A and B are shown apart, each in its own frame.
Chain A
C-alpha cells in the first residue's frame, strides 16, 4: 500500500511536470503579449517582464479593420465550410451505408481510394488555378482539400451502418416515405453524435487552415486570420511596411515583438475558449478516428 502511494505521487509529479512543459510556451506567449516592447528588448520574452503594457493590444485595436476583416473571413469560411462539408459528407455516406444500394462496393472503392493515392500539390494547384480560376477568391479558402475526404465519409458511413437500425428505415419505406424524407427526418436526427464529432474536426481544420491561403491568396483583403498571422511571422517587415493598412506609425514606436505575440494570442483564444466545453467531444472524435484508422 505504501509503495502504491509513492507510485501515485511519482506519477502525478511526472504529469504535473509534463503539463507544465506543455503549457509553458503558451504562458510565455500570453505574458509576452502583455509586456512592453522595452521589456522584451532588454529582458527578452520572459515570464516576468520588467514592464507590463497593453501597447501591443492597443496597436491591434487601432488596426482593427484589417484584423477584424481577417477574423471575419476565418469565421465565414469555418461556418460555410463546416456546414457544407458536413452536409456533403453525410449525403455521400448514407447511400454507401445502405445494404440495398446498387454498386455500393465500387462506389465505396472510388471514395476510399482517395485516401491511398494522391495527385500531390502541383497538379492540384494547377487545376484549381488554371482550370477553375479560384485564385484570390473565397472559394480557394473553402474548397481545396478541406470540404470533405474519404476518412470522414468512412467514419459517417460506419456510424450509419452500426447505429441506424434497418427496421427504422424499412418501416418508413412501408409508410411510403421518400428517400430524402427518410434521410432528413429520420437518419439525420439519429446521427447527431457523429455529425457533432465530424463537424468539430471540420471546424478545427478550417479555423486552423493557413495552407490554402498561402498558395491561393495574394490579395491581402482575403487573408484569413491564420494567413495574417503567417505573413507576420515570416516577415517581420510586414508589420512596418503594410501597417496592416491602417494609420501611419513611427517605425520606432511600433511594438513589433509584442504585437506579434498579441496577434498569436488572438489567434488561439477562440480555440482555448471552446476547448473546455467540447473537450469530451474532441477526445471521443479522435478516439473513433484513431480506432478506425
Chain B
C-alpha cells in the first residue's frame, strides 16, 4: 500500500510544474462552472438571505410545482423551441445557399469583400443591434414608419407594442446577424470538395444546378447533419441578447418574445423571485443537458471525430 502511494507521490512530484500550470484555470473553472452546478440545488430550497444560501430550508419540489402551475412554463418552452427550430432551419438553408453562391464568384477579392461585409453584423454587440432595430422600428421616427410604410400607403405601426410581428422581426435579425458566420463554416466545407467531381460532371454535360444538387449538397451532408444536430442539442438555450435587447425588454411583447432565458433573468434580477427563476433554470439545465448528450451521441454514431466527446 505504502509502495503505491509513494509511487503516486513521486509521479506527482515529477510533474509538479505541469500540475501547477493547471491550477489557475482549474480554480477558475471550479468557481465559474462547477460551483454553480452544485448550486442547482438552490431550486430545491426556499432561499432566505438572512439565513444565507447554504442554510436556507429545503422545500423539495415546491418551486417546480409553482412554476409549472403557471401558464408561463408552457409559453416560454414553446417560444424557445419554436424560435430555435426556425432559426436552425432557416439559417442553415440560407447559409448553405449563400456559401454555394459565394464559391461561384470568380474574382476572389470580391468574394472576400462580400464575406467581410456579411460577417460584420456578427461582430457587433446585441446592444448595438438593438439601436439599429430602433432606428428602423421606432414609432415616431423609425425608417419603417416614416419611409417604407407610407410608400405603400400603410399607416405607422407601433412595432414595440404588437407581439404578433416579433417572430418575424427576431427571425430576420437572427438571420442578418448569423449569416456571415455560418456561411464561413459551410464555405470552408465546400472548398474542401474535390474539384475533379465538378470537372467530370461538366464534361458529362451537367448544368450548374444539377451539379449543386448531385455533388455539393450530398458531400456537404455530413457537415450539415453534424452542425444541425449540435444546434438541436442547444435548442433549449436561447440567445438571451437577441430576446432581451432587440425587443427593448418591452412588456406587451412577452407572449411572443419571452424565452426561458429571459424568464429566468427577469425572475431573478427584476422580480427577485428566486424560487421560480431557479426552478426554470434547473429545468433548462436538465433538459438542455439531456438534449446535448443525446445529440452528441447521435453525432458520435455518425462521425466519431466531430463529436464534442
Known contacts A180-B17, A233-B130; is-contact A88 B39 (Cβ 8 Å): no
Interface-centre pick from A112, A123, A207, A282 (highest chain B CB count, 10 A) = A123
Determine if A178 and B17 form an interchain contact, defined as CB atoms under 8 angstroms apart.
Answer: yes
Determine if B24 and A226 form an interchain contact, defined as CB atoms under 8 angstroms apart.
Answer: no
Determine if B278 and A233 form an interchain contact, defined as CB atoms under 8 angstroms apart.
Answer: no
Bound-state CA distance A87–B24 (Å) is 9
Determine if A268 and B184 form an interchain contact, defined as CB atoms under 8 angstroms apart.
Answer: no
Q: A98 near B: Cβ within 8 Å? A: yes
Query: Which of A88, A178, A275 is B24 in contact with, Cβ under 8 Å?
Result: A88
Query: Which of A22, A88, A121, A286 is B264 in contact with, Cβ under 8 Å?
Result: A121
Q: Interface code B99-129, partner A: CB below 8 Å = 1, 0 otherwise? A: 0011011100010011111111101111110
Q: B89 near A: Cβ within 8 Å? A: no
Determine if B35 and A127 form an interchain contact, defined as CB atoms under 8 angstroms apart.
Answer: yes
Bound-state CA distance A281–B29 (Å) is 27
Chain B residue at minimum C-beta to C-beta distance from A5: B106
Show the binding face of B for A, using Cβ within 8 Å. 11-12, 15, 17-19, 21-22, 24-26, 28-29, 31-40, 42-43, 47, 49, 52-53, 98, 101-102, 104-106, 110, 113-121, 123-128, 130-136, 138, 140-143, 145-147, 176, 180-181, 184-185, 188, 208, 230, 240-241, 245, 248-249, 261, 264-265, 268-269, 274, 277-278, 281-282, 284-285, 288-289, 292-293, 296, 308-309
A-B contacts, 22 of them at CB < 8 A, read: A21-B176, A25-B133, A26-B132, A44-B138, A44-B140, A46-B146, A92-B26, A101-B18, A102-B11, A112-B308, A119-B37, A119-B281, A123-B278, A127-B36, A131-B35, A179-B21, A211-B240, A264-B131, A271-B123, A283-B184, A287-B188, A293-B308
Show the binding face of A for B, using Cβ within 8 Å. 7-8, 11-12, 14-15, 18-19, 21-23, 25-26, 28-29, 32, 40-41, 43-46, 87-89, 91-92, 94-96, 98, 101-102, 107, 109-112, 114-127, 130-132, 143-145, 147-148, 150, 153, 178-180, 183, 204, 207-211, 214-215, 226, 229-230, 233-234, 257, 260-261, 263-264, 267-268, 271, 275, 279, 282-283, 286-287, 290-291, 293
Known: A11-B104, A145-B32, A275-B123. 19 other contacts (CB 8 A): A8-B105, A25-B132, A44-B141, A88-B24, A110-B26, A118-B289, A119-B36, A122-B277, A123-B40, A123-B42, A123-B278, A131-B35, A148-B29, A180-B17, A211-B241, A233-B130, A257-B141, A283-B115, A286-B119
